Chain A
């Protein structure tokens, strides 16, 4: 028995050395695939494309005469994006718990931090690609729409503004991702996102109206506020960037770190 055990130990040690660890790129690839290989994931992705086209068409049809511009279109495109992208971010995390597939995921990759990190990268990739698609659809819409109206297309969104819009949507996704990590339940995280993005901003706005001192404080606390400034492409001064950093720290970084610590210690059932 002892020799047998010793033998097993040696062969095992060899096996352990011989097998290379799972590269992060592979985990990212798998996580990216998992975001869209279910029916719900597929429709969520498809609806981004479909709703972008619908929003663009609606903007062309309903825009008052001579007011169609690239900005009008990107604003119209912004609605489906700010709604759908955070949902994709939430489900990327929570489905492991709500659908219990985490049992397999975390058995195949025991480092939960790596899995969540891979999910974060995959989420950012999806966000950026979706935004590029939306900008492209908007650009086509702008060309077609102005041709229909017989005007020259108005290109009034510069690269800097476009980058801020992308950043704004990534902020929304990060909020969703954070909620997913903290709550680890699809339903709770989705409700949580609507509370944070609609109810909370309303409360903070109300507070700002009632308490005068709060008006100055609001941009430092309200992530919705800093996100809207990004969408408008008006985050320019140092103070505005610091405010963005402050709301990001408060609503994303701190809860994400706490959530990650809890997630790594939690039971996967």
Chain B
């Protein structure tokens, strides 16, 4: 269980995290979603005591992280897979973690196997590791103390598709066994498969949070037809906004049932009509975080919504 309570973090006038509150619950995977620089990593660093909060506070397992007698046995943390001494071997990094936590070093080869690093790879120095291997090592470090909570910052970065699949399964199992998982990403599709709850952050503020189902059901409809311009006009006449969503289709916040009826009434033949699901969530994510997008990459028409 992680509870973030009105957390604010300011750096010399700039507000990195602005009055953020949310909870990650046991038995669930919570996806922490936001574009780069939205405040995800800062929030996570405050969580584990690496940065002091300006105001507000974070509780993990019912208390302050810094008060945990042996944090590694309670909370597994991976903030930056590349933040390791480049001259150390992967095996040594795990050995240090195991020793600090007071675990037998027999856990080390066990963890290497768990994250699919070979014995030879384990003996290699981290400077020669690919980002994907570093992520695996970081996840091994997080898991070695058999914690109840996992806090992972962009763990899928650098993993190949098979690796991403592997990590999803691992996190799913972890949550299914009652563990709490908080993982961040700037890519929605990376975590939407595994996440039960989503917390969307943009510009240091939470812009949406809730269970994935709830967020998806508000995601709207994707529709395409022989004549999208006419369809958009018909929808507009009915007071429903629609925007091109790429791939030659329209996205609208209305539900499919209503869109279908309007199209029928207007005599437009539909070629596609479905609930927007992830596409809609992606759209919503872009819209919600539009303000904080670095490249001002607002989806066309999105600003009107």
Contact = CB atoms under 8 A, between A and B. Distances in A.
A15 B74 contact: yes
B51 interface: yes
A268 B51 contact: yes
A106 B83 CA distance: 12
Given A8-B62, A33-B96, A38 B85 contact: yes
A268 B83 CA distance: 11
A136 B128 CA distance: 39
A265 B52 contact: yes
Interface string B7-49: 0000000000000000000100000000000000000010011
Of the four ranges (under 10, 10 to 19, 20 to 34, 35 or more), the interface on chain B belongs to 35 or more
Contacts of A269: 45, 50
B74 A19 contact: yes
A19 B69 contact: yes
Interface string B72-93: 1110010110111111100011
The majority secondary structure among interface residues of chain B is: loop
B53 to A, nearest CB: 12
Interface string A96-115: 00011111101111110000
A211 interface: no
B285 interface: no
Contacts of A19: 68-70, 73-74
B101 interface: yes
B63 A16 contact: yes
A27 B96 CA distance: 10
Contacts of A100: 80, 82-84
A25 to B, nearest CB: 11
Contact of B86 (A13, A99, A104): A99
Given A37-B88, A100-B83, A108-B101, A16 B69 contact: yes
Given A38-B85, A265-B52, 4 more contacts: A39-B87, A104-B83, A104-B93, A107-B50
Task: Give the 6 A-B CB pairs with smallest separation, nearest first.
Answer: A38-B87, A100-B83, A21-B69, A103-B83, A110-B66, A99-B85
23 contacts: A12-B61, A12-B62, A12-B63, A15-B61, A26-B100, A29-B99, A30-B96, A37-B96, A39-B125, A99-B84, A101-B85, A103-B83, A104-B77, A107-B71, A108-B72, A108-B100, A110-B48, A110-B65, A110-B71, A265-B52, A268-B50, A268-B51, A269-B50
